[in-house]
A and B are shown apart, each in its own frame.
Chain A
Amino acid sequence: MEASRRDFISLGIGLLGAAGGVAALYPLVRAMLEPSKIAALGAVVEVDISNLQPMQVRVTSWKGKTTFVIRLPEDFKADDYKLKEGALNSKGTTNYEILKGHPVFALVGICTHLGCIPLWKPQGEEASGGKPTFHCPCHGGYYTPYGDVIAGPPPRPLFIPPQKLEGNKLIIGEKGFVQELI
């Protein structure tokens, strides 16, 4: 009888001690391994678009990634771009289908081929049929202003970050007309 009571106490103390140890370890591990609140600081970016002119691109940083904020003319037509076949975003569509009707939107400005930053060519290039394009200088990728691939090696369109329009502010990183990173 005595022995079993002692076993019970030992087990109880052991379990309590282990629970206490884990509880103490939790803040320690988080403080040491995950100073990520700093990273979270860049997770929501507000861009004032009141001075953004049509066909103008403003470059900002969202989660440390180069991000383009672009305003297109209200009557901009993107139907006559010749797109590269099979280069679709994670929804299985073109970016144009998601973003049409939105004259102001943000795109992650990182070429989906090997991570270079595409250049904005509003006057157009030969490969884009003389229409405005994002041109990646590294390996010759061409994108429409919506980020869809026209030509070159990129396997998929530019990423679209979650974003919301509030008056004159485009809030990148909050759910709005784009709900998630596409």
Chain B
Amino acid sequence: MGLIQRIIDWIDERAHVRELYKSLMIDYKVPKNLTFPYVFGVFALVTFVIQIVSGMVLLLYYKPSIADAFDSATYTIMGEIPFGWLFRHIHATGANFFMAIIYLHMFTGIYYNAYKKPRELVWIVGWLIYLVLILTALSGYLLPWGQLSYWGFIVTTEIPGSLADAPIFKDFFKAIAETIVLWMKGGYVVTDITLGRVFGSHVLIYPLLLLALVGVHLYLVRAAGISNPDGIEYDKKKHPDKFVPFHPYMTLKEGAYTMWYLAIFFFFVFFHISHFLPPDNFEPANPLKTPAHIAPEWYLLAFYEVFRSIPSKFWGFVAFSALLLFLLILPVLDWSPLKSARRRPLFFVAFLAFMYGSMALTILGSMEPTPLNAKLGMIFGAVVFGFFLSLPIISFIEYGWYKAKGGKEQ
């Protein structure tokens, strides 16, 4: 004990770690009434670490060339490297869990209105993280070079090509569409150079961006303070009874939940990996033959369904870009002074419609494109759009209530 104490003292004299620890862990206060959904942020962070560590192992043995990619992923990593299969299972499961957790995290943020003043920047940086995460997922999906990998990539890179169907300025949009598609593919055909580019983005560029953005996101959360499920901003100095120290209260709670999360995570890693490493993808990519059933990964199905249920490809593309954009400008659309669905009955109803609407779109996206499904896709797409477009109206009504109560939050 004496020796450890002395080592810590030695470091502390030079780096002031005790001060740092105290200010970051103990003096940092969080609302004591945080609910369960607030743990999704921690889950996302845990998953991010898991992805980086498992990705490092895969990176050691994966070969980014068309001739070697499939074999290095399927034979070398899965068969020859000790525990290589484990890290590929973890990485594939982690990718899906990451997206799932991020969606839950976003739903939580929307439900408790965590994008409102003073947390607009938290939301915007979070949106950027979501965007980079989608790019990371898409680029990683190509790397195993199976049939699904290849055709998934082809279909994805063709989607911006829908701009060419524009009703006006045809030549202009066509040029833009072709340029974007060329940029994404790196040429007219998918070559070694394309694969190398996608590989480099997946293993270095996007992860570095993510690290930086996640760092900023976490800083902003602490700078602005965690939102309160009650939707009331308490002053930490005036209401110390409403807050608890981050450690041990949050760390223990989140640690306990994280253990449950990891248990579920590894249940999938060991027993249900076929959800995340589908058998179809254990067939090498064949540019001359499309697999029978091809759909995007589940986390993009809602966007995909909006895209495909609209008869015009151009408007489909505009619609799903608009959805992404609406998410970004949520703090502007929802300008009501009231916060948290707990205190906003109109918003609560709209939120439920949004949540069930996007779930319905996801389910429809996984089904055959029958005319009925296309019609349902239009309806639920309209529901989701309705959510975003109803926010300014709800805000206007609530502003009236707010004024009637004398402009007070409570």
Closest to B83 in A: A27
CB-based contact A35/B81 at 8 Å: yes
The secondary structure that dominates the A interface is: helix
CB-based contact B53/A34 at 8 Å: no
The secondary structure that dominates the B interface is: helix
CB of B61 to closest CB in A, whole Å: 7
The answer to whether A27 and B82 touch (CB under 8 A), given A32-B57, A32-B60, A35-B61, is yes
CB-based contact B82/A28 at 8 Å: no
Which residues of A sit under 8 angstroms from B80, Cβ to Cβ?
35, 37-38, 41
CB-based contact B87/A27 at 8 Å: yes
Alpha-carbon distance between A35 and B61 when the two chains are bound, in angstroms: 9
CB-based contact A35/B53 at 8 Å: no
Count of chain A residues near B, Cβ 8 A: 11
CB-based contact A31/B53 at 8 Å: no
Question: Which of chain A's residues 27-48 have a Cβ closer than 8 Å to chain B?
Answer: 27-28, 30-32, 34-38, 41
Closest to A9 in B: B252
CB of B308 to closest CB in A, whole Å: 41
Alpha-carbon distance between A28 and B83 when the two chains are bound, in angstroms: 8
**B86 sits at the interface (CB 8 A):** yes
Alpha-carbon distance between A30 and B53 when the two chains are bound, in angstroms: 14
Count of chain B residues near A, Cβ 8 A: 12
Closest to B53 in A: A28
Alpha-carbon distance between A41 and B86 when the two chains are bound, in angstroms: 21
**B152 sits at the interface (CB 8 A):** no
**B84 sits at the interface (CB 8 A):** yes
Closest to B84 in A: A31
Chain A proximity mask over B75-92: 1 for CB below 8 Å, otherwise 0: 000001111101100000
CB-based contact B82/A37 at 8 Å: yes
Closest to A39 in B: B80
CB of A5 to closest CB in B, whole Å: 14
Tell which of B53, B82, B83 has the most Cβ of chain A within 10 Å.
B82
Instruction: Give the residue of A31, A36, A37 whose beta carbon is less than 8 angstroms from that of B57.
Output: A31
CB-based contact B86/A27 at 8 Å: yes
CB of B255 to closest CB in A, whole Å: 8
Which residues of B sit under 8 angstroms from A27, Cβ to Cβ?
82-83, 86-87
CB of B365 to closest CB in A, whole Å: 36
CB-based contact A37/B81 at 8 Å: yes
Question: Which of chain A's residues 1-35 have a Cβ closer than 8 Å to chain B?
Answer: 27-28, 30-32, 34-35
Which residues of A sit under 8 angstroms from B61, Cβ to Cβ?
35
Tell which of A31, A34, A35 has the most Cβ of chain B within 10 Å.
A31
Which residues of B sit under 8 angstroms from A30, Cβ to Cβ?
82-83
Tell which of B60, B80, B87 has the most Cβ of chain A within 10 Å.
B80
CB of B185 to closest CB in A, whole Å: 33
Which residues of B sit under 8 angstroms from A28, Cβ to Cβ?
53, 57, 83, 87
CB-based contact B82/A34 at 8 Å: yes
CB of A157 to closest CB in B, whole Å: 35
Instruction: Give the residue of B56, B82, B86, B87 whose beta carbon is less than 8 angstroms from that of A35.
Output: B82
Alpha-carbon distance between A28 and B87 when the two chains are bound, in angstroms: 8
Alpha-carbon distance between A30 and B83 when the two chains are bound, in angstroms: 7
Question: Which of chain A's residues 47-105 have a Cβ closer than 8 Å to chain B?
Answer: none
Which residues of A sit under 8 angstroms from B83, Cβ to Cβ?
27-28, 30-31
CB-based contact A36/B53 at 8 Å: no
Residues of A within 8 A of B (CB): 27-28, 30-32, 34-38, 41
The 3 closest A-B pairs by CB, nearest first: A27-B83, A30-B82, A31-B83
Listed by A's residue number, 10 A-B pairs whose Cβ atoms lie within 8 Å are A27-B82, A28-B53, A28-B83, A30-B82, A31-B83, A31-B84, A32-B56, A32-B57, A35-B60, A41-B80
Beyond the given A27-B82, A31-B81, A31-B83, please list 11 additional residue pairs across the A-B interface where CB-CB is below 8 A: A27-B83, A28-B53, A28-B83, A28-B87, A30-B83, A31-B57, A31-B82, A32-B57, A35-B80, A35-B81, A35-B82
